[in-house]
Chain A
């Protein structure tokens, strides 16, 4: 919470202050509470119910959760989606963030020309819809079109090509990489911004001390942007455990082949809305959403306790 800036308020009559606050905060709080917080709470409440064939709802406590985590009918797809989601996240952490850091480091080199051009071009995919990106890559990687195969052939790696998106073993990683390709712009930009905030004099001082660009990056800049990197990581975590669009638009609600690309978002959608194989089950869907909520919450708490508190921020 920012430090309060105005003391004048302490002199203001109670009623006038209340009226002002209502005027300024009222609209935002009303919309936010009604369409964001209330649905979250209502969803959690709904997760403790079940509906019978007639449509009536009955309270059943934590039975939905017991089924999700223990009953093979529900728990197998759930744990499968959870594991896949972990892999999805791991690929982002191991590929997206290092590439983002490296690109930001290159972009922030002093005296680099065409900086603006590179920034604009490399951030472009992030602006596009996941649906469009997913589908475009779907076409490009399709053996029918043969663009990817052809491109590999020109660099003499033709034999490496496989229909990656179609194979159970590689579909998930391929989709993760497509997502990385799209979103690498965000870590790049945030870290780039943090790098720009480092005062030039600090870098000059290191140069005078005889450090080269690479050493400066490794020993001076990187430690100083660590808070941003950790922020990027937690943003990635929340986005990944909430992802849906890409898998749905490339693989559909069934997240094939054979659920190999099923993550929590698609599992939630299937449970809630149903699909060719099953009927929609809103109460069970609510239970899945509640579990996702707790996964994100646990992630956030771990981050706050383990990472955020240990990271030192430096004022320039």
Chain B
């Protein structure tokens, strides 16, 4: 490597490191300070917790006053069930739309693309009325139904791209083998869609986990709050209690970060797979 090249590579890394710091700095700062005593939070905010400043008082308070575990389980249920349904229904519809030629398939694809571009949020007034009259108000079921409807168009779009990448010969071979159409989908096509899960997750599942709007509108009791809404309400109530606020924020951040770091390779591969163009 010549001197000039080295200087250039150095400056590239300098920029990237600087931006990386900007990206994780605020998150680190919040998490770090959540483990400190109040005096240390204000006295030396940039210092990591040490033996003298370490404290879990914020976490104790959060566990005592907020139903944080309920929030977690609500969020998990809503996200996982929505994800399963979005993937299943989405893949089935994508298969029918890409594989079968029938009158109206183009119109149907257009109909579905409305949902990609127009946020379902704009229908909130009617959704609330509907859920109320169906007695689903303040239930996780209501959230799941809305999220599945919200996630489906994008997942159909993404999965269609993946299905088209599966060689045509493979389905023809299965047909020559006498495999029934439904089993061609479930036993030949669906197993090959595994790489698509990451892409679908980034575009439809992560927004579900993070959503504030629909829990705010559709759930009213503590027992149906999700993490995002629960933490948001907690923050509003205890805004002056810095230990608790930082602890609550960290508790919302940490699980996501841990899962993200574990799955980041797949997630980023899913994002860069070129399925979304």
Report the number of A-B residue pairs with Cβ-Cβ less than 8 Å. Answer: 283
- Whether B273 lies near A193 (C-beta < 8 A) is yes
Interface on chain A toward B: helix, strand, loop, or mixed SS? helix
Q: From A112, which residue of chain B is reached at the shortest CB distance?
A: B12
Task: Determine the chain B residues whose CB is within 8 A of the CB of A297 once the complex forms.
Answer: 118
Let me know if A46 is at the binding interface, CB within 8 A. Answer: yes
Instruction: For residue A233, give the distance in angstroms from its CB to the closest CB of chain B.
Output: 13
> What separation, in Å, do the CA atoms of A248 and B23 have in the docked complex?
22
Question: In the complex, are the beta carbons of A127 and B260 less than 8 A apart?
Answer: yes
A41 to B123, CA, bound (A): 8
Known: A9-B101, A10-B101, A27-B92. A1 touches B235 (CB 8 A): no
> Which B residues touch A124, using CB under 8 A?
23-24, 27, 257, 260
Output the residue of B153, B175, B277 with the most chain A CB within 10 A. Answer: B277
Cα–Cα, bound, A75→B260 (Å): 44
B96 touches A24 (CB 8 A): yes
A43 at the interface (CB under 8 A from B): yes
The smallest beta-carbon distance between B236 and chain A, in angstroms, is 8
Count A-side interface residues using an 8 Å CB cutoff: 96
Closest CB in chain B relative to A50 CB, distance in Å: 13
Query: Binding site of B, secondary structure by majority: helix, strand, loop or mixed?
Result: helix
Please, how many angstroms separate the alpha-carbon atoms of A66 and B129 in the complex?
Answer: 25
Instruction: Tell whether, in the assembled complex, residue B209 and residue A129 are in contact, meaning their CB atoms are under 8 Å apart.
Output: yes
Please report which residues of chain A, range 227-264, place their CB below 8 angstroms from some CB of chain B when the two chains form the complex: 227-228, 231, 238, 242, 244-245, 248-249, 252
Residues of A74-109 at the interface with B, using a CB-CB cut-off of 8 Å, are 103, 106-107, 109
Please state if B122 and A293 are interface contacts (CB–CB under 8 Å).
yes
Binds A, one of B49-57, B58-66, B244-252: B244-252
Report yes or no: B90 in contact with A106, Cβ–Cβ below 8 A.
no
- If A120-B261, A127-B260, A129-B209 touch, does A2 touch B164 (CB 8 Å cutoff)? yes
Roughly how many angstroms separate A29 CA and B148 CA in the complex, as a whole number? 11
Q: Is the CB of B23 within 8 A of A28?
A: no
Question: Which listed residue, B88, B168, B209, B249, touches A136 by the CB 8 Å rule?
Answer: B249
Q: How many chain B residues have a CB neighbour from A under 8 Å?
A: 104
Q: Which of A42, A127, A252, A282 has the most B CB atoms < 10 Å from its CB?
A: A127
Q: Is B118 a contact of A40 with CB atoms below 8 Å? A: yes
Cβ distance A59 to chain B, nearest Cβ, rounded Å:
16
Interface string of B71-97 (1 = CB under 8 A from A): 000000000000001001110110111
Do A39 and B130 touch (CB < 8 A)?
yes
Could you tell me the distance between the alpha carbons of A46 and B123 in the complex, rounded to whole angstroms?
Answer: 10
Query: Within 8 Å of chain B (Cβ to Cβ): is A25?
Result: yes
A147 interface residue per 8 A CB criterion: yes
Task: Assess whether A43 is in contact with B24, with CB atoms less than 8 Å apart.
Answer: no
Interface residues of B in 1-37 (CB under 8 A from A): 8-9, 12-13, 15-16, 19-20, 22-24, 26-27, 29-30
Contacting B20 at CB < 8 Å: which of A2, A121, A252?
A121
In the complex, B112 has a CB within 8 A of chain A: yes
Complex interface bits, A145-161 against B, C-beta within 8 A gives 1, otherwise 0: 11100110000000000
Asked if A21 and B125 make an inter-chain contact with CB atoms under 8 angstroms apart, the answer reads: no
Q: How far is the CB of A310 from chain B (nearest CB, A)?
A: 17
Give per-residue flags for A170-182: 1 if the beta carbon is below 8 A from chain B beta carbons, else 0.
0000000000010
What's the nearest-Cβ distance from chain B to residue A83, in Å? 20
Chain B CB count within 10 A is highest, among A2, A112, A248, A297, for: A2
- Tell me the bound Cα distance from A140 to B256 in angstroms: 21
Within 8 Å of chain A (Cβ to Cβ): is B152?
yes
Q: How far is the CB of B261 from chain A (nearest CB, A)?
A: 7
Can you name 18 A-B residue pairings with CB atoms under 8 Å? Answer: A2-B160, A6-B101, A20-B181, A28-B93, A35-B146, A39-B125, A42-B125, A120-B268, A124-B24, A139-B242, A139-B245, A145-B45, A196-B274, A244-B213, A282-B129, A285-B125, A286-B126, A292-B122
A: residues with CB less than 8 A from B are 1-2, 4-10, 17, 20-21, 23-25, 27-29, 31-32, 34-43, 46, 103, 106-107, 109, 112, 114, 116-125, 127-133, 135-137, 139-140, 145-147, 150-151, 181, 189-190, 192-194, 196-197, 213, 227-228, 231, 238, 242, 244-245, 248-249, 252, 265, 272-273, 282, 285-286, 289-290, 292-293, 296-297, 300
